[in-house]
Amino acid sequence: MSEDTERVDVHGRVFQRISLDDRIYFAPVAIDDREESRLTAQHELMCEIFGDRLFSPRIPVADPRAILECGYGGGDWAVQCAEEFEDCEVTAIDIFPMPVTDQPDNLELIGYNLNDPLRDPEVFQANQYDLIHSRFVFPGIKTARWARYIRDMRLLLRPGGWVQIVEYIPIIQSHNGRLTDESAVRRWWQSYQAAMLRADRDPRIGRRLGPLLLENRYRDVEVDVEQLHVGAWSPDPAKASLGRQSAGMVGDLLESLGVWPFTAELGWTAAQFDHLMGEVRQELGNTDLKLYIEM
């Protein structure tokens, strides 16, 4: 377990020092004000996608006794979960043990590296959890670790328990095919993908989750691909509302994901990265492009 909260400034963003030194996690941590705001906006969007729920309505968890969250970030999901299920023991782990305000009594926050086996008896109990929640953690998990990570979670579930895993595919796409190789969002993706492969991370892991779950003997596996619209370009009022809310958050997401890999792995200057992000945000704000990101 890591209880290391030492921070370092990288181009005006707050990172966990040990995460960068040991090449564990490559995005700002939730104590960074901008990242904290982005994580909250992201959490609210996800709840809306699930119909004002914390998890898919197809998961029949009504009276849980124990829930585990892997990668709690700023704690939005974990806190809301503990408040909603007052008789449930909620454990949330993250490489950066961020404290939360007004922490519920039934919520325990623990510093933990998701690349390590989920077997520490001081943290986990086998066959214990009704639900395990893992969301947007791919920057912090090595490529070869994913199969074992998913296997570890299965061993922690009680019989009949559920896992929900959500990951972005951080490739901005166009519903009407108007993006080109010269588009800023395409250039961002090509550079980001190259940097993350150097860092032993798979930014497309979301597309492998279904097969990995089946290979590790999960039952009742269902894979949903959500196209989160960027901007209010859809004629569907619900999708337009989500798109309107997502536009700024997606720009902040690409900035948070990219600032360290571009500058540390690829050798860009902060000014070069900021210039690209300015172009990216301009494209994200262009509803004529009908952009979306998959998760």
Domains of the chain: 7-294 (3.40.50.150)
CB neighbours of residue 60 within 10 Å: 8
Average pLDDT, the chain: 97
Q: How confident is the model at residue 5 (pLDDT cuts 50, 70, 90)?
A: confident
pLDDT, tens only, 122-156? 999 999 999 999 999 999 999 999 999 999 999 99
Distance CA 13, CA 260 (A): 9
Global pTM reads: 0.95
pLDDT, tens only, 255-266? 999 999 999 999
Is pLDDT of 51 > 90? Answer: yes
Question: CA-CA distances (angstroms) from residue 21 to 26, 128, 202, 258?
Answer: 10, 34, 20, 17
* pLDDT average, residue stretch 226-252: 96
pLDDT of 2 reads 43
Give the helix/strand (H/E) hosting 163. strand 157-166
Q: Which residue has the tokens 């301009």?
A: 282
* pLDDT average, residue stretch 244-253: 97
pLDDT of 123 reads 96
